[in-house]
Structure 1
Amino acid sequence: MATESQLPAASSPPAVQVPAHLVKSTQRYVESGLRGAANTVRAYAGDWKRFAAWCGLHQLAALPAPVEALVGFLTELADAGKKFATIERHAAAVAKAHELAGVESPTADKKIKVLLKGIAREIKTRQKQAPAFSLESFKRIIRSIDVTVPAGLRNRALLLLGFTGAFRRSELEALNIEDLAFDEDGLVVTLPQSKTNQLGQAEEKAIFYSPDSAVCPIRSLQAWLRVLERTEGPVFVSLRKNNQVTSRRMTTKYTNLIVQQYLGSQFTAHSLRASFVTVSKLNGADDSKVMNQTKHKTSAMIRRYTRLDNVRQHNSAKELGL
């Protein structure tokens, strides 16, 4: 029985003839397939907790939930000024909880689809996207970091690796020293798992040397690894106030804070990835090359990630020949 702070356990797999010694394994695989990536599970668990608490407050069942309960909950989120993406994710968490429990979800009802469409129209579906920075401003900021202390060495390595590798912040958080392979050509980072690669098929990202050692992602990462003085475990770890290195893996929350500390409050950790796409496109890289690093599956996603808000940045009027 699930508590209100966690998603329900997966229901029993469909009734098929499975040898007795394989039943437990089958159940485990079904649950893994239903749940998805670890970060998604954590997000959904928080959303489900809020929905269950709301239902309890209003004396409504959370599982299975009546359509009216979800209508009221989503409406309250919209009236509270929540972003549409947040509201949509809460609905997805409710759907996932019902799927795991093997019961019909209220999200299947047409009323919910109409409600979400109306909410999207009123609050405007365009999400506020993390802005991109220019390459020159980024290099200037990197050069200004105090690398005489461990915090500076770590933060410089994180920013440069995050940008040149087009990493998601969850990927940076999960990175282990064992995932790094250095050679004379540069660095290959192996990602055992990612948001778009939940089946654990290894993906690789290539990082290259920069002729300017002050902004070189590989030399910066190597300088940080020398501080760690070990050959395995998390790459990016927390520091105590006296700059003492710990063995605790740094969380995505702090990745965001580090980006904002150096780049400004308008940026987020996602700006590293968006800026990689934008700078690459401005420098003439085709979509296939960009996708080879970002691991996006379609060119449409590359277009979505490209931040070309300045009308002069990417404009064929420059090429008219006048």
Structure 2
Amino acid sequence: MTPDAPETPVPFAELSSAARQVWAKYERSSDSSLPLWRHLADSAATAGLLWEHWVPQGVVDLVITALPGGEEDARRLVRFLGATHDVGKATPAFACQVEALAGRMRDVGLDMPLAKEYGLDRRLAPHGLAGQMLLQEWLAERFSLDGRASGQFAVVAGGHHGTPPDHQQIHDLQLRPHLLRHPGASEATWRQAQYELMDGCAELAGVVDRLPTWRDVRLPQPAQVALTAVVILADWLASASELFPYEPDSWQPEGAVGEQRRLRAAWEGLALPKPWDPEEPLGEPSELFAQRFPQLESVEIRPMQSAAVQLARTMPTPGLLVIEAPMGEGNTCLL
């Protein structure tokens, strides 16, 4: 059954003209593009649906147990991380790549050099790393999160293309702030646009009142990995133009109706299977053996096979059971 799209607010409706001109996606073959705010909203919604309807409960529990608000905090956090993963695209180092779109941004006060003028320096500011640094700055200023607290959330943006940035990469970019904001008259405009987008993400995900309570959270590394994996998948899906078209008509009218229609169409088109949720089979081991291998109805179950079933039933959570036994004890039938 397809879940309904959540009735979420549309916090990006009041963005300045500068923030609305920041682009995220460009398709050269059709010369079409998608604004960053739109991609962030799509990714947040997709991450939320994946979390609620597709991610296995064992993965969800990794995050729930680390947050003071449990399940509700986890739901909000995954949407926030899905929303903010690409904020590093709101930088001159990224935006200069498509000159036509960069020109529109310059027209609203977001100055930047040509891509060729950056030279090799631009490679030091991949948008994942840029996003991590912007998020940490914003979390510190808006919510007084220190480097440890902000880093465990922001690293998801830094690693959403597969590998979290290392200390040297962070250090190299810190020495080149012009890649994050063009210095001079437009620097304040860049900062305002970046903060507007991150503020909008926080409002969209409902974490404005939760972030201050997460200052003392210690996200275990497995939880960070799980969250990053969900964001990677959400980003990949939200980047598919066949699911989330670039044409403005696909999200008009702006507001809850347009959001619901866009997300519902994408989710129905995706048609993901439900998470695997097996029920533990009842009955004696010999009965289970007969059900699993009806062609061996005349064969008596081996003691090792019976013991394996009994041992599996004592495991408190699903896991791996490694069995070593001599040939002829029935190992193959347990695979």
Q: State TM-score, norm by structure 2.
A: 0.21
Higher strand proportion, which one?
Answer: 1
**What's the TM-score, normalizing by structure 1?**
0.22
Q: Which has the larger radius of gyration?
A: 2
